[in-house]
Structure 1
Amino acid sequence: MQFDLTDLSLFRHVVEAGSITHGAERANLALAAASTRIRNMEKSLGAALLLRTRAGVTPTPAGRTLLQHSRTLLAGVERLREDLGSYTGGLTGQIRILSNTNALTEFLPEALSAFLAGHPQVSIDLEERLSDEIVGLIAEGVGDIGIVAGTVETGQLETYPFRSDRFVLVVPHDHVLAARPGISFTEVLEHDFVGLDRASALQRFLAGKASRTGKPIRLRVQLRSFDAVCRMVEAGVGLGIVPETTAHRAARTMAIGTVDLEDHWAARDLTLCIRSLKELPASARQLVEHLRKGA
């Protein structure tokens, strides 16, 4: 059995992505090369590592064992790289962050920009996920740092306050709802919406809330940013749900209004979650402290 670090990193990416194609992209390998490596790993081991279906791939019992050891070994290599980096001019390494939509779009760009400017040899892998997914993935060791809604149960993870915000309804300035001080999510489902791509964490969250009411979201346009949502709302295409910070910034230059959402989940206290601060690589520990300073 001969697995190198590229094999182990690829296998971890494939399992976490649930797809050899997407795992190869994350590992910066061609699909053919990635598939060959996986087959050679299974041949060397003499057992299947992945169950392949039309929906993607999942690890076999042998694959789960390999995944666990791969994460441990790769984390050790990352710590070694950082420790040696102290002899070559500073911290090095890659930090994996899993974040919900709100934190990713509203608070992380400036915070990460400031951190990376001071740590030029550190890179960050940032992925958008639902808050409840993030908790499980951080506990499993998939990411170093998670940023989740404060309402999510985080179990045994260490947590720290990050930021506070809330979601609001954005409407054209002359819309019939513009004069309302507040409204429930169920009531606004009677209207057309513009929103983020259906695969985004926030859009999946809202779709889940809508499904519980029996009224699906009538999504007219799918966009890639909250600012674009606000522009479409201004044009009268539909209503939008965005963070209050985004809405107030957009309202300075756009003819839009905001209405408070009365649902309890609209208020968003954002929380940092990690497995153990003392077990994080040095660069990740410094990033946690950097993010906490702005809380």
Structure 2
Amino acid sequence: MIDLLTLRLFALAAEHKSLSKTSAVANIAIAAISRRIANLEVEMGVRLFKRSQRGVELTPAGETCLIRTRNILGELTRLQGDMGDYRNGMRGRVSIWASTSAIAQFLPADLAAFSKEHPAIGLEIQEAYSAKIVSEVRGGNSDIGVILAGGETFGLLVWPYRCDRLAVVAPQAFRPGVSRVRFADLFDEHLVQMGYDTAMTRLLSAKANEAGEALRLRVAVDSFDAVCRMISAGFGIGILPLMAAASHVENSQLRLIELDEPWSVRQMLICTKSDVEPSGPTELLIDFLRAFGGK
């Protein structure tokens, strides 16, 4: 049987490329380490290391084994941490996958307020695009998702959360004197946005297609900060959530222009898997976030 000590020694040997260094780090005799790794190779039925006078090097099978071993040891560390939290008084844990827009605007403060009311409930928070969040919640890998409305939500229960508003981010010299603009007036402009997988860029692309135009996406980056930096460098304009953009525009050479469209106000949603009864802590968090619905 494969034991955790053997896996740890295997990972150390792969890292240090030397059984003698592994022996020094682990404080275990070289012969014992060599025997454990040899037994692991017998158990796996493949060679994991190429051995030479200079040390050890992973074989292709060893590379794969190392990836899986790190996953196993990582999960063990997380398990130990979770159990430590329960020993210290935690009464439950809720995993939340949330959109970039939610995390950049309202969600941190709302979750902090929840934690203040319920300090014994641990929260695990991960940022992702809405489409990825739907997949993770549907697959049972997240208790709660916070997504943007407009995407496919089959198999989920959804409730309204908060609303945000989109605004145009542009250089200070862009259309001086203009305080609001229609989306159609921007079709000739180069856009700097996050990638096509984001709910916002899909929305903009759909609205351009409805008008018989193609979205002129010049630069695709992976954060609101990067969007603003590229706009500052002269690569075009962008459309971002107003609250998230405001913090980047302040003390910069950028300005915000109101996007004069009914769809510029976007609804965020809380979602859970429809065929799974939520835990008590999850229900508490859902009810807490639902209280902000539509704000």
TM superposition score category, shorter chain reference: 0.5 to 0.7
Specify the structure having the higher radius of gyration (Cα): 2
* Amino acid aligned to 1:257: L
Give the deviation of 1:138 after TM superposition: 2.6
In structure 2, the partner of 1:44 is none
In structure 2, the partner of 1:205 is 202
Distance 1:200 1:181, change over 3 A: same
In structure 2, the partner of 1:224 is 223
Matches within 5 A, 1:1-295: 32-35=65-68, 85=86, 89-93=89-93, 95-116=94-115, 118-119=118-119, 122-131=122-131, 134-152=133-151, 154-155=153-154, 157-176=156-175, 179=178, 181-184=180-183, 187-196=185-194, 198=195, 201-202=198-199, 205=202, 208-209=205-206, 212=209, 213=212, 215-220=214-219, 222=221, 224-226=223-225, 228-254=226-252, 255-262=254-261, 264-275=262-273, 279-295=277-293
Give the deviation of 1:177 after TM superposition: 6.9
**SS of equivalent to 2:244:** helix
**SS of equivalent to 1:166:** strand
Give the deviation of 1:163 after TM superposition: 0.4
CA distance in 1, matches of 2:154, 2:222: 34
Distance 1:206 1:153, change over 3 A: closer
| Stretch moving more, 168-177 or 273-282 | 273-282
Distance 1:135 1:231, change over 3 A: closer
Identical-pair percentage? 24
CA distance in 2, matches of 1:260, 1:156: 33
* Amino acid aligned to 2:216: I
Give deviations 1:73-121, integer Å, cap 9, x for gaps: xxxx9xxx7xx94x8523233x332333321321222223344455366
TM-score (norm 1): 0.58
* Amino acid aligned to 1:130: S
Give the deviation of 1:253 after TM superposition: 3.2
Q: Which runs of 5+ in 1 are unaligned?
A: 3-29, 39-76
* Amino acid aligned to 1:148: I
Give deviations 1:191-240, integer Å, cap 9, x for gaps: 223333x37624652575388455243324635234x4335434543201
User: Contact (CA 8 Å) 1:169, 1:261: kept in 2 or not?
Assistant: no
User: Contact (CA 8 Å) 1:277, 1:285: kept in 2 or not?
Assistant: no
CA distance in 2, matches of 1:222, 1:204: 11
CA distance in 1, matches of 2:197, 2:104: 12
User: Contact (CA 8 Å) 2:187, 2:213: kept in 1 or not?
Assistant: no
Give the deviation of 1:190 after TM superposition: 2.0
Distance 1:199 1:266, change over 3 A: same
Distance 1:125 1:193, change over 3 A: same
User: Contact (CA 8 Å) 2:164, 2:267: kept in 1 or not?
Assistant: yes
User: Contact (CA 8 Å) 1:195, 1:229: kept in 2 or not?
Assistant: yes
CA distance in 2, matches of 1:235, 1:202: 25
TM-score (norm 2): 0.58
**SS of equivalent to 2:236:** coil
Q: Which runs of 5+ in 2 are unaligned?
A: 3-62, 72-78
What count of residue pairs does the alignment treat as equivalent? Answer: 221
Distance 1:91 1:215, change over 3 A: same
User: Contact (CA 8 Å) 1:230, 1:256: kept in 2 or not?
Assistant: no
